[in-house]
Structure 1
Amino acid sequence: MQLVLRAAIAYWLLLFSVRLIGRRSASQMAPFDLVILFMTAGISIAPVLGDDHSMVGAFSALCTIGLMHILASWLKMHFDWFGRIVDGTPVVVFENGQFNSRRMTVLRLTQQDIMTAARQRGLMRLDQVRYAVAERDGKISIVEEHKA
């Protein structure tokens, strides 16, 4: 039972530590970001398993983590506030031809990140961009400026 409780606690701690790290998706993560993510996950394994190196212990921990994930998903579906805490909300980082540097600093985004997303949409200049939005999953959505 103690192993199950440790696994549940580790799930929630890891979920919120990843949330604190930021919203970059795996495809946008720098090697540094990935190292931090893997180190955090690796560090959480030892306290969960403790001295129990059995298959039953590992299976119990995995099942508990899976159930915690299902619980978190259920909570997100039923409580909007919980989804905002766990996943965040979309944030407009570029509009009206201006970068919102305060929001970009909080999200640890650079102007180059926004331009990369614009180029991926085939846009080469900022005057072609109406909005740039940092989505909940860390991706940057670009809304094109429509010229008449």
Structure 2
Amino acid sequence: MEKIFFDSWESVLRTLVVGVLAYVLLVIQLRLSGKRTLSKMNSFDFVVTVAFGSVLATLLLTKDVPLMDGVVAFGILIVLQFLITWLSVRFPWVSDLVKAKPVLLVHQGELLEDSMKAARITKEEIMAALRNQGIGSLSEVGAVVLETEGSLSIIKKVEDLHNPVFENVQKPASLVDCLSSGKSYPT
């Protein structure tokens, strides 16, 4: 109970030295690994980021873990991140495994309720995103897409959902059926 507030100056000095060195080495490793490691996060990126934090905390607060062990752990995470992103660029099935598909939430000013429910996105969240883009009405919107990292992309005009921009976007089957038959989507 006597070590709740202070253990020793040696412990404080170790935390200070290891903390500064671990931080500097992590920043160097992240810069060397490229921009992709620090990009907007999908679920895989989030897991790696949490793991970075866990390794750093363990390194700072656990006296039994040497600095080099933490640096190696950071390196392993960065190499795995690089490997997964390299594989996902070359093999679509790897990309599908680690990333969610973007989801169409609004089409030609109509909310796609089934897609919104499946994505757990509310009308209010969509309206807030529209306001942030200076859009005052759903009728001004060609499409709203929930991207893989959770952001909402707003497209003002949509000529055709078969456009390459929408190639990998998940669309509700009922909308695809309506578009292929030439009918209007039920609201």
User: TM-score scaled to structure 2, two decimals?
Assistant: 0.50
The residue correspondences of 1:116-127 to structure 2 (distance < 5 A) are 116-127=128-139
Tell me the distance in 1 between the aligned counterparts of 2:119 and 2:98: 15
Contiguous gaps of at least 5 residues in structure 2: 1-41, 159-187
Question: Relative contact order: is structure 1 or structure 2 higher (C-alpha 8 Å, sep ≥ 6)?
Answer: 1
User: TM-score scaled to structure 1, two decimals?
Assistant: 0.61
Higher helix share: 1
* Structure 2 counterpart of 1:74: 86
Tell me the distance in 2 between the aligned counterparts of 1:42 and 1:59: 10
Query: Is the 8 Å Cα contact of residues 55 and 74 (structure 2) preserved in structure 1?
Result: no
Moved over 4 A (4+): 40-46, 48-52
* Structure 2 counterpart of 1:90: 102
Q: Is the aligned partner of 1:115 residue 2:127? A: yes
Contiguous gaps of at least 5 residues in structure 1: 1-17, 21-25, 27-36
Query: Is the 8 Å Cα contact of residues 43 and 98 (structure 2) preserved in structure 1?
Result: yes
Higher strand share: 1
Q: Quick check: which has more Rg, 1 or 2?
A: 2
CA change 1:105–1:43 in 2 (3 A) is farther
CA change 1:41–1:108 in 2 (3 A) is farther
Tell me the distance in 2 between the aligned counterparts of 1:84 and 1:145: 28
Tell me the distance in 1 between the aligned counterparts of 2:92 and 2:126: 28
RMSD of the TM alignment (CA)? 3.1
* Structure 1 counterpart of 2:73: 61
Tell me the percent identity.
Answer: 26
